[in-house]
Amino acid sequence: MRYYIADCHFYHKAMLDRMDKRGFADVEEMNNYMIEKWNNKVRKNDEVVILGDFSWGKAEPTNEILKNLNGTLYLIKGNHDHYLNNAKFDADRFVWIKDYAEIHDSKRKVILSHYPIMCYNGQYRLDKKGKALTYMLYGHVHDTTDQRLLEMFQEKTQNTSKRALTPEGEKEMYIPCNMINCFCMYSDYEPLTLDEWIVCQEERLKKNTPALF
């Protein structure tokens, strides 16, 4: 099984009472809760793609967090992953560490970036039933005004049609825009599969429908 998650921010005290207002008493309580949620879901042979900003901690504490997490791990670099530059950090816990990646998940193309990409590679790829074949997974913006703006952009795009070349020839079609913010708080700090993130986003947006421009 392959899972995805973004912006855990282990050891980041500012997430408790400022930006995210996560509500934990301290970083130790937050770290322990996130580890528990992770390991209750992820088994030893599962894969987890971390979409950046994994830890605010220094190299050695971050190494300890990684030792306590289940799964085979992959990392997309975030702007707060400063531990990567420290010689004491053990990068062997990750299969790879990249700024950007494109992979396949159950016959779907997945674009991986810490930062949202509004016009992403493979955006227009659909199957014969018109179902999306490409998803753009990101982090970085947490649950902020920037995320609200991205939701507005996504809704506007999905309701915009244009002439496009399809396997059946040129035709009028609505523009796909399958961007998903894998922010850890959206899943209660639990890594989710692509299908679970799709459902998570659909349910979240039903409760908070963005207005059109």
Query: Whole-number mean pLDDT of the chain?
Result: 93
User: Model confidence over 100-149: pLDDT tens digits?
Assistant: 999 999 999 999 999 999 999 999 898 888 889 999 999 999 999 999 99
Domain count, the chain: 1
Q: Is 172 within the bounds of a domain?
A: no
CATH of the domain at 92: 3.60.21.10
User: The domain containing residue 109 runs over which residues?
Assistant: 2-142+178-207
Of 182, 181, 164, residue with least CA distance to 173 = 164
Distance of CA 43 to the CA centre of its chain: 19
Domain annotation covers residue 97: yes
Distance in angstroms (rounded) separating the CA atoms of residues 53 and 14: 13
Residue 170 lies in a domain: no
Distances (CA, A) of 27 to 14, 16, 122, 149: 9, 8, 39, 30
pLDDT at res. 213: 43
Q: Per the domain annotation, does 11 fall within a domain?
A: yes
23 belongs to a structural domain: yes
Is 168 inside a domain boundary?
A: no
Is 7 a member of any domain?
Answer: yes
With tokens 């079609």, the residue in question is 173
Tens digit of pLDDT for each residue in 84-111? 999 999 999 999 999 999 999 999 999 9
State how far Cα 71 lies from the chain centre.
17
Q: Is the pTM of the predicted complex or chain greater than 0.85?
A: yes
Tokens found for residue 13: 């005290």
In a domain, 182, yes or no: yes
